[in-house]
Amino acid sequence: MPNTYRAAVIGLGRMGSTYDDEATYGGPIFLPYCHTPTYAAFSRTELVAGADPHDEQRAIYGARWGVSSAHLYADYREMLEKERPDIVSVCTTARVRSQIVQDAAASGVKAIWAEKPIALTLAEADAMTTACRAHGTALAINCARRWNPYFHLVRTMIDAGELGDILQVNGYGECGLSHNGSHLIDIVRYMAGGSVSWVFGEMESDEAAAGEQDLMGNGYLAFDNGVRAYIRGMPCGPAFWEIDVIGTKARFRSASDTLEIDYIVLQSGGRLGRDIPAHIPLPAPAHFPSTGFTILEDLISAAENGHAPRCSGDDGREALEVAVALRESHRRGGVRVALPLADRNLGILSSEIRNDHTPARIRRLEKAKKA
């Protein structure tokens, strides 16, 4: 394997290029975070090309990152053929993400870093994971909290038995279940371990549940390892982006998107011989690494050593499947729905695809010109 990987980005908008320019606070994100800033700064990648069908996007991207027009393409297929990148980021609307990932895998790229949600339907997600397995391509889905140092540390502690048997995981974060809900569902799955066997779901309304659009909702998840979980994707007040992991020996709570961390263990000495909860510091890293660097290190290791990335294509697909199953539970009158779902044509139209005929950045620029 080469020491340096040729990297290219498909979809040159916000997550592909300029999200880091907007960052004003920490939380779970440590810069560089989004795709191009990471490739430009990472020691093992060389940014070589970009593709986007919109002329304005390519022009802004080239000026921002010093990529000449000779290496900017309207057609991503032409870019894959001419540039032969090793790693490709897919930062397009989810409407076209599945086919692009399949084409990139077939072109021989070693690794793909794709945005979330993985796709609009389960069939599209199935096709992506199947293509990447067939071509030996490592596929990571950008549910980035898995690469956060706190969540990864706690997952390591769970695996070592320090929290005892995990009993319950609760996640709170107002969101559409497909779009930002992919983050919420995935981090709950990561903390719980195992696979979801069945769910109960309640959506924001009967009308929303009957449609195909992205929607808020709540759900109860039963995992095959005995863990139970609750997800609240409806308004949650001060509990916004809170994750609570309860084990038989200890408890981990992340509030305000990791701005507040609490670790509680049971200690002897309580009344009537009962144990009492004791709050202890959770060791923080001496250095908070770039989220993008952490993702690339993991993805390159996956390509070189044949293991799954921390958030793999299968993880992205299962997050979408949980979201769809929660909606199906409501549609069917609040019944228990088993996974995997038999109908792979089911899906959710992620909120990110609204008005995606014109990139959001270009819409904002046009609005500013008219103001």
- For 46-70, what is each residue's pLDDT tens digit? 999 999 999 999 999 999 999 999 9
Pairwise CA distance, residues 149 & 370, whole Å: 43
What are the structure tokens assigned to 243, written together? 């994750």
pLDDT number for residue 202: 98
pTM over cut 0.75: yes
Question: Mean pLDDT throughout 191-204?
Answer: 98
Close Cβ partners of 124 (under 8 Å, ≥ 6 residues apart): 97, 98, 118, 347
Say what angle helices 122-135 and 313-331 make with each other, to 10 degrees: 160
User: pLDDT at position 122, please?
Assistant: 98
Is residue 219 over pLDDT 80?
yes
Domains of the chain: 5-144+291-311 (3.40.50.720), 146-285+318-338 (3.30.360.10)
Q: What is the pLDDT of residue 360?
A: 81
What percent of the chain is modeled with pLDDT above 70? 99
Phi-psi region of 352 (alpha: psi -120 to 50; beta: other; left: phi over 0): alpha
> Is residue 172 within 8 Å of residue 235, measured between CB atoms?
no
Q: Would you state the pLDDT for residue 64?
A: 96
**What is the per-residue pLDDT for 1?**
62
Alpha-carbon Rg for the chain, nearest whole angstrom, is 21
Average pLDDT over residues 234-257: 97
Whether 150 shows a pLDDT value over 70: the answer reads yes
125-142: per-residue pLDDT in tens? 999 999 999 999 999 999
Give residue-wise pLDDT tens across range 24-33. Answer: 877 788 999 9
